[in-house]
Structure 1
């Protein structure tokens, strides 16, 4: 059994030696040919991931900035809209007040003009009535006087009554 064990051991030592030598050669070849590209690819992938994370962080910050800027613009637009609506309401109220004042002034002018016109027509009508009354009075007086002056005695009596009135005054 010792021989067997010695044979196996010699056989195994040779196998271990050649296996170790093959492993070292394979390791050196892999280190020379494969590890550098693999590690380079890993480092490149790490840089790519870090760059993507940095870009994502920048995009997130940019989105936050744009969102706040958009909110500020919306707030400003709302404030401007409210100001425009307020100015439009004030302008509407002012125009209504001006129209009301103008209508009242125009109405007052029309009423005053109508009063003046009515007064003028009233005065004209009164003057016309006075003229007609005076015409009629003159005609009546003329007719009465003609009848009274037909008689000369009545004429003398009238003249003496008038003279008495004049002397007393």
Structure 2
């Protein structure tokens, strides 16, 4: 027996054993193995599909977040603009109100000053008139107390009347 030369009997039995092995494998092992491979392939495909859906959903969420963020920025800018306008209006209104009140106070002060000035002038006029009357009374008494002076005063008045 030579190990290098093949014999027909050995070849025949090896072929039959190989065919039986293939038959047994096909009958019992191939279906579970192919089923496990198919199941694994399906789970991988499902995982890939789920991952793709999750990626799309994440993109949609990111787009929605960007949109919401942009809307929030626009709304924030609008609120800030409105707040500035309200602030400026309040300041302008307060300034106008303060100016109006200041003008009213100044006008009232001017009226009060004018009234007090008029009252003071009237008081001074009254005092001047009273003093003038007192002085005139004293002068006239002094002039009229003496008869010579009375005659002299009458003559001076007559001369003034004729000169004018």
Q: For residue 34 of structure 1, give the secondary structure of its aligned residue in structure 2.
A: helix
Asked if 1:70 is matched to 2:30, the reply is no
Corresponding position of 2:104? 109
1:126 aligns with 2:102: no
What is the distance in 2 between the residues matched to 1:34 and 1:113?
A: 114
* Runs (5+) with no aligned partner, structure 1: none
Report 1:153-168 matches (<5 A): 154=150
Give structure 2 stretches of 5+ with no counterpart: none
Query: 2:29 maps to which residue?
Result: 34
- Structure 1 residue 24 and structure 2 residue 16: aligned? no
Query: d(CA) in 2 for partners of 1:54 and 1:138?
Result: 123
- RMSD over equivalenced CA pairs, Å: 2.4
TM-score, with structure 1 as normaliser? 0.81
Structure-1 residue corresponding to 2:141: 146
Higher relative contact order (CA 8 A, sep 6+): 2
* Cα shift at 1:120: 1.3
Shift of 1:147: 2.4
Q: Verify: 1:14 aligned to 2:9, yes or no.
A: yes
Any idea what the Cα deviations from partners look like across 1:112-137, whole Å, max 9, x if unmatched?
11111111111111011111101101
What are the superposed Cα offsets for residues 98-154 of structure 1, whole Å, 9 maximum, x if unpaired? 121112112111111111111111111101111110110110121122223335683
Scaled by the length of structure 2, the TM-score of the pair is 0.83
Offset at residue 60 of structure 1 (A): 1.1
Matched positions, count: 153
